[in-house]
Amino acid sequence: MLCAPMPDNRYQQAELVHCRFAMLGVAGVLFPEVLKGAGLGGPAAQVPWFDAGKFEYFASADALFGVQMLLFAWVELRRLQVGELGSMSGAVASSSRVSCAPHGSATSLTC
């Protein structure tokens, strides 16, 4: 079995960024649930994650969204200034590669 050449490293780095945002999303759902179970976190932790948009926070939803967009824009511009899509340090994550094996062998994925 022949392997196709690896696509541009930018696809791999973009996928790393997507995975990081997904992990942050999961943490954003689980952390308030843990605080709720421990009886901590104040009134916001008592709201289920699927009803979090209905909760009255310290600022309006539009203001919070605007601040979030500004922070995301700053992070993305900073990351692009460094030159690598998946790293703030400029180092390319070269260990995340899919290696091809002959037909009938296991294919390994290292992260």
When pLDDT is cut at 50, 70 and 90, the band that residue 105 belongs to is very low
Write the CA distances from 48 to 2, 42, 45, 57, integer angstroms.
49, 13, 8, 14
Q: What is the pLDDT of residue 99?
A: 46
Q: What is the pLDDT of residue 70?
A: 95
When pLDDT is cut at 50, 70 and 90, the band that residue 26 belongs to is very high
User: Distance (Å, rounded) from C-alpha 90 to C-alpha 79?
Assistant: 8
Q: What does pLDDT average to over the chain?
A: 74
Beta bridge partners of 109: 98
* pLDDT surpasses 90 at 109: no
Q: What is the pTM of this model?
A: 0.49
> Residue 3 CB: number of other CB atoms within 10 A?
11
Phi, psi of 64, rounded to the nearest 5 degrees: -65, -40
Q: For the chain, which residues make up each domain, given as ranges?
A: 9-109
User: Distance (Å, rounded) from C-alpha 70 to C-alpha 64?
Assistant: 10
Q: Considering only 77-81, 83-87, 106-110, which range has the smallest mean pLDDT?
A: 106-110
Q: What is the pLDDT of residue 16?
A: 84
User: Distance (Å, rounded) from C-alpha 25 to C-alpha 57?
Assistant: 19
pLDDT tens for each residue of 53-75 = 788 888 888 998 999 999 988 98
